Copies of this chain bind each other. A is one copy, B any other.
Amino acid sequence: MSVENTPQGTVAAGFEPVREEFAAVAAEEGNDYAAQLVAYLAGERVVDLWVGPEVRGDSLIGVFSATKGGAHLVVALLVQDGVLDLDQRVSHYWPEFGAEGKQDITLRELLAHRAGVVGVDSGLPLDELADDRIIAERIAPQRPYWRPGTAFGYHALVIGALTGEVVRRVTGQTLQEQFEARVRAPYDLDFHLGLPEEHEPRFLTTLPMRPTPEQQAELDAAATGPESLSGIAMNRNYPNAPELPELPNFRVVREKGPASVGGVASARGLAGMYAAAISEVDGRPPLLKPDTAAAFVQVHSVGYDLVSRQHKVFGLGFAAIGDTYPILSQAAFGHGGAAGSQAFADPRTGLAYGFNRRRFAFPGGPAPENERLVKAVHAAVG
């Protein structure tokens, strides 16, 4: 095992098995494995590890859909403040959204991936895909791809633009501005929805998946066309759209930080945000009251996701992490990302977890090694 392949960083007493498990994962993954793993317990950082060439503890990586966790923490705060009402119609806040049979869709349904507008018929060029306000404008007149109320599907690239437009209409500020003011800056978190130029030197480009021939065959068998619902949701229906893994590698995406997939963070930033959400951190009270967290983790969509074509369980804006990792509590909420990131809080134990990896993991989505790492961290929490 080379030095580069040995996890660096620190763990608190009792969390040594987490370091061992992370080392075992790295050894199996091979010499160019690059990842970060951080955990907080009751607001204290108890795991702070990283491994692999070029990676450091403060490296910034594109977190793809883990971005949605940051975006919807903002929405949860606004609901907690009474500024937004989950059962209000989206078109009340944002009249243009009411077109084509969407007039009665509530904020609750939108957050539960039930609205049916996962993209637009003609796709979006990169500069539009990077700009939540334009995404929202383009989606507003779109007919839902399924009948609202009858199904759900992952609004992979657009959910944050839609909920963000609601935030903007109500607060006068973008979701990104709210995130900066209420979440990122107070804790100096390395979780950016819009990465300032000064932090660019710490950014590591995302690397594409490197499937084995068997894995490639599996991917080919499950391939969907650019005009399929999955294709539209991934914007593959736009001619020569960039491949998903490339997104954070464009400066325009990092700069604007679209709230669905454009966030850039370290695992410290991811875990730190979830710690702040549920625990006292730096002398500040938890951002979320227990009732607010419970309302957002409450399951709202269960079954076959028309976009991912897989079984999914969603709360409001967050994934039902307790269904993904049933060793955790049902109260766990968070969001993973396409390259392999995973991040969540479990209010029952006070655990906050953040994981990043640089190279897309097979088969896409939160990397499989999270299962082992989550178990190890949870066991150490005891």
Indicate the size class of the contact surface on chain A. 35 or more
Contact call B112/A143, Cβ cutoff below 8 A: no
Within 8 A of B (CB), among A324-362: 326-331, 348-349
Contact call A146/B227, Cβ cutoff below 8 A: no
Please give, as numbers and ranges, the residues of chain B lying within 8 Å of A327 by CB-CB distance: 223-225, 228
Please give, as numbers and ranges, the residues of chain B lying within 8 Å of A268 by CB-CB distance: none
Q: A309 on the interface (CB 8 Å rule)?
A: yes
- Chain B residue nearest in CB terms to A301: B150
Main secondary structure of the interface of A (DSSP, over half): loop
Contact call A303/B300, Cβ cutoff below 8 A: no
- How far is the CB of A107 from the nearest CB of chain B, in Å? 13
Please give, as numbers and ranges, the residues of chain B lying within 8 Å of A378 by CB-CB distance: 225
Q: A145 on the interface (CB 8 Å rule)?
A: yes
Cα distance A17–B221 in the bound complex, in angstroms: 20
Partner of A300, one of B150, B228, B298, B326: B150
Please give, as numbers and ranges, the residues of chain B lying within 8 Å of A291 by CB-CB distance: 143
Could you list which residues of chain A lie within 8 angstroms of chain B, going by C-beta atoms? 108, 112, 143-147, 150-151, 223-225, 227-232, 291, 294, 298-304, 306, 309, 311, 313, 322-323, 326-331, 348-349, 378
Contact call B147/A298, Cβ cutoff below 8 A: yes
Q: Are A326 and B146 also in contact (CB < 8 A) when A302-B303, A306-B302 are?
A: no
Please give, as numbers and ranges, the residues of chain B lying within 8 Å of A300 by CB-CB distance: 146-147, 150-151
- How far is the CB of A83 from the nearest CB of chain B, in Å? 20
Contact call A151/B299, Cβ cutoff below 8 A: yes
Contact call B298/A306, Cβ cutoff below 8 A: no
Contact call B330/A151, Cβ cutoff below 8 A: no
